Amino acid sequence: MYYPTIQSDICVKMAAAGLLSRFLQVSRLRVPLQRANLILQQPTKNALVPMIGRGMSGGAARRFEVRPSKYVEKRLWRMVGFYTMLTALPAAVVITYINVFIGEAKLTEIPEGYEPEHWEYHQHPITRWLARYVVGAPQKEYEKFIDYLEIENEKKQLRSQEKQVRRMMRQHGDGHWYYYPTPSPDVYDDKS
């Protein structure tokens, strides 16, 4: 029969207390809003006796709660606000100024002998500015598109001609290999 000594009994209690404290630390991380005194079970010879865990400096146990940092989120929203104020606010002021003080153009008769520029056909001042400085003239854009179509048509014709040449080379059996002299089959006499 085994009779525990005092020293082994103390070691078992210390190991159990260490495991229990580790378990409680993990459970505190899982349940961060738990604010009650912890009840520990202290083993004795015959039964488990409940023992109140100490909060050390106040009624509830103090703990360090691990939470993700809000630094990146706060920085993102600060930068969104900053760049909104940097770009959207001045743009809104300029657009409001143009709409209030300049306004839209009115349709009038074209004077004799005057040919309006392409941007003068637009009604709103911002659209006129974009048509004048950002977007090209419609005639110029049309000519660029026609030039693009002509280049693509030439490519299509060249591809068609190249395809026809390759087909004819296969039919007639000539090609880049005609540079190499090939002896006539009469030169080789296999009957002798």
pLDDT at 70: 93
Alpha helices in 31-137 (DSSP H): 71-83, 89-97, 125-133
Sole residue written with tokens 């657009």:
95
Three-state DSSP class for 174? coil
The residue among 156, 177, 152, 174 whose CA lies nearest residue 165 is 174
What residues does each domain of the chain span?
Answer: 6-52, 71-138, 139-175
Q: Are 61 and 52 in contact (CB under 8 A)?
A: no
Residue 52 in tokens? 């109140």
Residue 149 in tokens? 């179509």
For 63, other C-beta atoms within 10 Å of its C-beta total 14
Please give the chain's pLDDT, 192 residues, in tens.
Answer: 455 455 556 655 666 666 566 555 545 544 444 444 444 445 555 555 555 555 555 666 667 788 889 999 999 999 999 999 999 999 999 999 999 999 998 988 999 999 999 999 999 999 999 999 999 899 999 999 999 999 999 999 999 999 998 888 888 877 765 556 666 767 666 665
pLDDT at 1: 47
- Sign, CA torsion 101/105/109/112: positive
Is the pTM value of this prediction over 0.85? no
